[in-house]
Amino acid sequence: MSTELQGRNSEWIEQARVQLADQLDTHRAQLTELTADTGDPRDAHTRAALIVAARRGYDQAVEALNRIAAGRYGRCDKCGGDIPRERLEILPHARYCVPCTA
């Protein structure tokens, strides 16, 4: 997202930042809960998969928050073009525009 576009959308970007921070807190809590040892070996496989998913979500939220802080939020990491706001509203941690995801 260009600097000019970011300036016009600063309120919306702040809302995205708050949403991403909330997601970060949620994933952090999930990881804390999932890494607690229940002592039941039958849960190991399921817990491992849930930990991977929570860690991925955590990392994606951190990366998106870093892009906001750096002024690069809304720019495609591959082509450098703008990621449409509609895509970011659905997937606030999106790194690529739709054509670059194919």
- The reported pLDDT for the residue numbered 60 is 94
- The reported pLDDT for the residue numbered 66 is 94
User: Which residues make Cβ contacts (< 8 Å) with residue 62, sequence separation at least 6?
Assistant: 24
The predicted model scores a pTM of: 0.75
Q: Name the 3-class secondary structure at 17.
A: helix
Structure tokens at 12: 């919306």
> Residue 10 is which amino acid?
S
- pLDDT one digit per residue (tens) for the chain, 102 residues: 445 445 557 888 888 889 999 999 999 998 888 887 667 777 778 888 889 999 999 999 999 999 999 999 999 999 999 999 999 999 999 999 999 987
User: Which residues make Cβ contacts (< 8 Å) with residue 98, sequence separation at least 6?
Assistant: 84, 87
- The reported pLDDT for the residue numbered 8 is 53
H or E element that contains 24: helix 10-34
